[in-house]
Amino acid sequence: MIRKRLNFNTVTNESKTFARKFLLEYNILVVFTLNDSWADCKKSTVGLETDVPLNEFYSLMFHELSHILAYRSKKFYKYHHDKASNEYMWKHGLRIERWIDKRAKSMMNLYMPDMKFVPAYRNEESLNSYYEWLKEHYPITNEADKGAKK
């Protein structure tokens, strides 16, 4: 088990190396980005934003790792296998993201107990960003979709 005590406030080469090695333990490749974090579950690859405080960087790492682990175990199958309808995404997407985040927090607490987890989709800015992404990728276009939460 990899455990590390970290006392940095910003993402450094050491923290990137740690993330790369940690995710490799799960056979996951990592790409470092400046403005977005993501997971490509099929390719077992994550993109981690580096222009954030260190605890947020590691929170993102565990969040994206949780997506891939859910994909591998077929948890939220429609969501992680590109089979979700627009209605499904509007109705269940945020709940799934928060479940993923809860799992990520548990993992981060296990591996990095001294780090404070930064939850996703809990403040107005991240919720607005999520709903903008949802509108772009899963627009509400028919009567059935209109019953979903907006």
The mean predicted confidence, pLDDT, of the chain is: 88
pTM of the model: 0.85
Three-state DSSP class for residue 33:
strand
Q: Is residue 3 part of a domain?
A: no
142 Cβ contact list (under 8 Å, min separation 6): none
Task: Let me know if residue 21 belongs to a domain.
Answer: yes
In three-state secondary structure terms, 31 is strand
- Evaluate whether residue 107 is within a structural domain: yes
Q: Which residues contact 139 (CB under 8 A, 6 or more apart)?
A: 86
Query: What pLDDT shows up at residue 141?
Result: 73
Neighbours of 147 (CB within 10 A): 10
Provide the domain limits for residue 61: 13-147
39 within domain boundaries: yes
Per cent of the chain over pLDDT 70 is: 89
Structure tokens at 63: 């969040």
Provide the number of structural domains found in the chain: 1
Q: Which tens digits make up the pLDDT trace of 39-61?
A: 998 899 999 999 999 999 999 99
Instruction: Judge whether 2 lies within some domain.
Output: no
Label residue 145 by pLDDT band (50, 70, 90): very low
| pLDDT at res. 137 | 87
**Per-residue confidence band for 124, with pLDDT thresholds at 50, 70 and 90:** very high
User: For the purposes of burial, counting CB atoms within 10 Å of the CB of 23, is it exposed (0-12), middle (13-18) or buried (19 or more)?
Assistant: buried
Residue 1, domain member (yes or no): no
Could you tell me if residue 29 is inside a domain?
yes
Tell me how far the alpha carbon of residue 13 is from its chain's centroid. Answer: 21
In a domain, 6, yes or no: no
Evaluate if residue 7 carries a pLDDT over 70: no
